[in-house]
Structure 1
Amino acid sequence: MDSSAWDARYASTPDLVWSAEPNRFVVEAVGGLTPGSALDLAAGEGRNALWLAGNGWQVTAVDFSPVAVERGRELAARRGVPVEWLVADVIAYQPLPGSYDLVLISYLHLPAEALARVLDSARQALRPGGTLVVVGHDRANLTGGTGGPQDPTVLLTPEAVVDGLAGLRIQRAETARRPVPTGDGGSVDALDTVVVATRPVA
């Protein structure tokens, strides 16, 4: 899906396309870290970026949809949290190497070659001691979970993500269950790839 298609999707509703709450795995991975500079790649409407900024992080949020970025900018203004918003395609976007204490990639689904480019940029953007968090729909979700893209070529596996993180220390790499509420008050599980890695200090 290109940026114009995402623009149309975001513009089709006055409500948020995604939840206003941060992703649970992002909260788990980041909650114990000392706030510093953070880069949110493919930030969408900014749910994770806004949560980070509200917890003291200096956040740069990047997405290729101008509509999503504008919505995120408005939400940040309403909440009174500072976020730097950039409209850019994360496949081509080149953050300054060694500039961030945290890099986040949340639910970015791309063909393998394009994802590898983003992972490489994210890896290089980390400062020594910095943390990279990658969360997305797992390939196992096709048969064992609910929701998400149905194209296996853009779904994640922990192994594929880890393969793109040479030189980082892997703290967590697994397929995790995420409860998704159903209309009857119950829930069903989605299956997500969750990878947390750090750049060694020395």
Structure 2
Amino acid sequence: MNFWDQSFSISGYKYGVAPNAFLVEQQVRFRPGGDVLVPGDGEGRNGVWLAEQGHRVTAMDGSAVGLTKAQSLASERGVELRTVLGDLADWEPEPACFDAVVLVFVHLPAAIRVGAHKRLAAALRPGGWLLLEGFHPQQLQHRSGGPKDPAMLFTPELLRDDFAGLLEEALAWQGEVVLDEGPGHQGLAHTTRWLGQAPG
């Protein structure tokens, strides 16, 4: 059983069932009823919420346990969710077939991250949005969640480099937020929030 299968095997939802606050705030930018890809969607809280807003959602994750819980949450809420089991180290979405890509606390080893980010940016249609929230290196001072490896954390500069030539930056912010996302993310945190748009 992989790390995430184990994490998601708890009763209830590790990161709760409410959507991420930054996503809720920015989703108005997305094309209504668009195709949205949510890599690393875990137990489905963000994908299911996006489906409730009328989007056609593909939730992708490396945990079969998480995706099973995502499907049951979608059934409970009466929405459709397409799920894909895959590994972001080599998973390649079809190019130019999504209106938005949503990355919420998807922290990858540096060796994998750049390639994964490029493939995900390439999945956007012209004018499509990539939304990302992740922990900043200053998160290491807090106990509210996230990896302990500084190389897996995000600064706006790092994201700017990852998506250079692929996306136009629309928003870059880092600072303190209070997280209330299930038992997994609780309390004061330092995060980076980033929005980029595919040209055209």
Give me the TM-score of the superposition, normalised by structure 2: 0.91
Unpaired segments ≥5 residues, structure 2: 181-185
Is the deviation greater in 52-61 or in 138-147? 138-147
Partner deviation per Cα, 1:136-179 (whole Å, 9 max, x = no partner): 11111113674322221211111111111123110111213221
In structure 1, the residue corresponding to 2:195 is in which secondary structure?
Answer: strand
**Contact in 1 for aligned 2:31/2:99 (Cα 8 Å):** no
Q: 86, 91, 110: which is aligned to 2:108? A: 110
Q: Which amino acid aligns with 1:179?
A: V
1:23 and 2:20 equivalent? yes
**Contact in 2 for aligned 1:145/1:191 (Cα 8 Å):** no
1:172 is matched with 171
1:184 is matched with none
In structure 1, the residue corresponding to 2:2 is in which secondary structure?
Answer: helix
Closer, same or farther: CA 63–144 of 1 in aligned 2, 3 Å: closer
Partner deviation per Cα, 1:6-48 (whole Å, 9 max, x = no partner): 111211x211011211111111221343320000011101111
**Contact in 1 for aligned 2:30/2:128 (Cα 8 Å):** no
User: 2:71, 2:198 → 1: CA distance?
Assistant: 30
2:183 is matched with none
CA RMSD of aligned residues (A): 1.6
User: 1:42, 1:50 → 2: CA distance?
Assistant: 13
Closer, same or farther: CA 188–71 of 1 in aligned 2, 3 Å: closer
Aligned pairs for 1:44-55 within 5 A: 44-55=42-53
> Comparing both chains, which one has the higher relative contact order based on Cα–Cα distances under 8 Å and sequence gaps of 6 or more?
2
Across the two proteins, how many residue pairs are aligned to each other? 193
Q: 121, 124, 127: which is aligned to 2:125? A: 127
User: How much has 1:188 moved relative to structure 2?
Assistant: 4.7
In structure 1, the residue corresponding to 2:171 is in which secondary structure?
Answer: strand
Q: 37, 57, 72: which is aligned to 1:74? A: 72
**Contact in 1 for aligned 2:30/2:99 (Cα 8 Å):** no
Q: Which amino acid aligns with 1:31?
A: V
User: How much has 1:106 moved relative to structure 2?
Assistant: 1.1
User: 2:72, 2:65 → 1: CA distance?
Assistant: 11
**Contact in 2 for aligned 1:134/1:195 (Cα 8 Å):** yes
Unpaired segments ≥5 residues, structure 1: 182-186
User: 1:169, 1:33 → 2: CA distance?
Assistant: 15
Q: Which amino acid aligns with 1:197?
A: G
1:38 and 2:21 equivalent? no
1:149 and 2:163 equivalent? no
In structure 2, the residue corresponding to 1:120 is in which secondary structure?
Answer: helix
